[in-house]
Chains A and B, each alone.
Chain A
């Protein structure tokens, strides 16, 4: 790069590697699935409720691993609670630094964890997997406005969890990471597209949620578009910093290619079918609304498209984060 005002970095990489990569991945899927589930429940029809519950299941299960990964990554795993409780002698107490995304993120994880757990249990009860009378009575509290408020607030934290990891990288003095403001949005968009793909894949195991397949397909396309736009912003912000070559150099370009391959189904679908679901070039064989009831019960799906394409999208989500994390370290 020949630009005069290239950012100088004389820093050491923090050695955030595999644990952090998978944490970022799962945080994106957990937060993203919660957001999609909430949209289904608040704005979808009654037929979207099974997909909404599926989303809450995914959000909780993906989140379960997150604290474990984060704890294992610490040099002193048994001191994980120091993130919340400052043990400085004479200054002990709860600690939250709003200007440190890692500190904010820990608390957001705790809060989001509570919402994800509530929604998970609620979905279990509504699916009659839990039949305790007490649980049913508790869930009945969530039937009305309170339930809507809970999932809305939960979704806000879901959006935060899916995106703040990118901000955490940016709030540093590392090349690439600190040279752009796009990473938070980029991780959020890719977390959402990955979540839509994952839910689409899981519809195989939940036929009654089949009615939501079209919505997931279209959402995935729109999130892929958003992600592509943010990759463009990412590139544009790296040029003046002279960091493009670091982020996209060999061998990282290979990971970027995988990330782009993961965008292909969504962008391709958008180009060929816009916002319509035509059955051509879509991830899962779908039915139009008018024949939903007859198809949902019987039609076998093509394994190649219903497994391979969501798999590709998810691989892309992982590769994107790997490229961002590893290229500078």
Chain B
């Protein structure tokens, strides 16, 4: 890995076609970032991490696609394994809604939650389309992958990429990674693996993901929104406010109608004049 220079965009290229599900990335991440380990869970799969959250910043997804009749070996189809992580989106939904400015873009173009600025409102959790962030119970703030901000500042690559034995996780300048990834897809297609595809390498998904992927199936199979569904929370600002504005106009009109209805019959009857000046000492008091 060449020198890491601030001002340049860095990210991950996670190539799921070579992931073996060893979870070295998870362990390295937890070790470096001093995140608590998980209780072992023995369910009906190899995944005892569950999902990304405040304590799990890398999560190897095990997606069981084992067919009923055998297909022959290889091709990475029966088990989809993917080391999931914060995508460090160019158009980051979490950053859009954050009211405190705690979520910033660093000099390495990564998306970083400053733990001393975050006040735990959890708006970013509602916004992130990838289920990446959650709130740390003890610290009371939102946490997620930092792209090993501290390591980058010290000129070291992130712990997960360093630990990955198959180079499924590659770290580097985003442009270089994109070039390598496109070459890799071409190679795979030539080798007869047509299902290989890139996700987030171009601007079609949230303006481009600095941490992008090579997938072996539809994005939805990995719980990733496809192009049509990769939408930003801000899309609902205009409609939401306009709906409220229309309602406000109608509501004020309704209030005026209610006031007029009440006064009309009162004005018709001669004694109706009484209603406009009840013997109310308070009303008088206001005028003096």
Contact = CB atoms under 8 A, between A and B. Distances in A.
B120 interface: yes
Contact of B129 (A10, A126, A160, A222): A10
A193 B71 CA distance: 63
Contact of A184 (B98, B131, B241): B241
A163 B248 contact: yes
B237 A185 contact: no
Interface string A78-116: 011011001110010001010111110010000000000
B248 to A, nearest CB: 4
A82 B117 contact: yes
Interface residues of A, number: 94
A103 B95 CA distance: 12
Contacts of B280: 47, 49-50, 208
Interface in A274-299: 275-277, 288-290, 292-293, 296
Contact of A87 (B117, B120, B126, B271): B117
Contacts of A181: 236, 239-240, 242-243
B250 interface: yes
Contacts of A173: 93, 126-129, 231, 233
A36 B255 contact: yes
Contact of A100 (B99, B122, B247, B265): B99
A10 B277 contact: no
Nearest to A93: B101
Contacts of A11: 126, 128-131
Contacts of A95: 99-101
Interface size, B (range): 35 or more
Interface stretch (A56-64, A213-221, A247-255): A213-221
A185 B224 contact: no
Nearest to A184: B244
A133 to B, nearest CB: 13
A125 to B, nearest CB: 8
B119 A10 contact: no
Contacts of B133: 12
A265 interface: no
Interface of B: 51, 53, 93, 96-102, 104, 114, 116-123, 125-131, 133-136, 139-142, 220, 223-226, 228-229, 231, 233-234, 236-237, 239-244, 246-248, 250-252, 254-259, 261-263, 265-266, 269, 271-272, 274-280, 282-283, 285-287
Q: Which 4 A-B pairs have the closest CB atoms?
A: A75-B120, A75-B140, A181-B239, A185-B247
